[in-house]
Structure 1
Amino acid sequence: MSDLLKNKAVLERYYEECLNKGNLDVIYEGAGDGHISHGTAPNGKEGVEHLKEWVRLQRASFPDLQVTVDDWILEGDKVVSRFTARGTHTGEPYEGVPPLGREFAVSGIVIDAFDDGLIVESWFSLDGLELAKQLGALG
């Protein structure tokens, strides 16, 4: 199996086990200790613990969160995933928005850079305005 396919497999496991099922310890299998995350916190946050906490917060707000990858692009040391995230806001408040039991479905893109089989840097982008509308944050 090529390195690109191995990197994709790391992400497939992360999406299924961590994001969709809530097994947060899977993060330690795929991300390096010095992982840098852009888009989940201002100016990029470092460390696998930040990534774990970010996923925990998503699942705490949306306990039924399901992320489906719609497209994969593999190039060099990077894997791009275009995804759709779906869930119901029945858990904790999200970004100050109280849980109203509203369902959402929004799209996004993540670019993950790998080094020696581990994710070392990620660029995350999601349609936050659409998410806010669907959660009822804009009235």
Structure 2
Amino acid sequence: MPAADDTAPSSPAAVVIRLVEEVLVGGDLKALDQLYTPSLTAVARRWIAPFRASFPNMSMEIVQLVHEGDTVAARFRCSGTHLGDWHGNAPTGRRFENIDEVYFFTFRDGVIANAWGIEDTLERFHQLGLSS
């Protein structure tokens, strides 16, 4: 977890924590307007809303946050139950557990201006029984 001074309400690390707790886990998509630049908010919503609809009970553990300059690198573990269509697959009712994700968030004026990440989607498909 980040150092105590790195979780001040306006720090980049605190913004990533809010993203996880309020939006990804909590489902408050309106909070995106406070966390992203206006041009990136719509992009984030187009990715997050369908994922939350597919896995409405998702949980995400913050494994590590590293804040340097205007960038936060974050490692997460994500779990959830497949209860809605996802990538053209009907709900299976199956659960995926502890899928690794790593993201880099770049900040401008205290909000996320760019995000890039990788997720172990193949393992997610495997755990849901959607791949051989």
Aligned length: 126
Change (3 A) 1:119 1:78: same
Gaps of 5+ in 2: none
Aligned equivalents of 2:122 and 2:50: distance in 1? 19
Which aligned pairs between 1:20-99 and structure 2 lie closer than 5 A? 20-35=25-40, 48-90=41-83, 92-99=84-91
Aligned equivalents of 2:36 and 2:80: distance in 1? 25
User: Normalising by structure 2, what TM-score?
Assistant: 0.89
Task: Give the RMSD, CA atoms, in angstroms.
Answer: 1.7
Shift of 1:25: 0.6
AA partner of residue 30 (structure 2)? D
Q: Would the aligned equivalents of 1:4 and 1:75 in 2 still touch at CA under 8 Å?
A: no
Name the residue aligned to 1:101: 93
Runs of 4+ in 1 over 2 A off after TM superposition: 1-5
2:126 aligned to which of 109, 133, 139: 133
Greater percentage in strand: 1
User: Normalising by structure 1, what TM-score?
Assistant: 0.84
Change (3 A) 1:4 1:115: farther
Name the residue aligned to 1:16: 21
AA partner of residue 18 (structure 1)? V
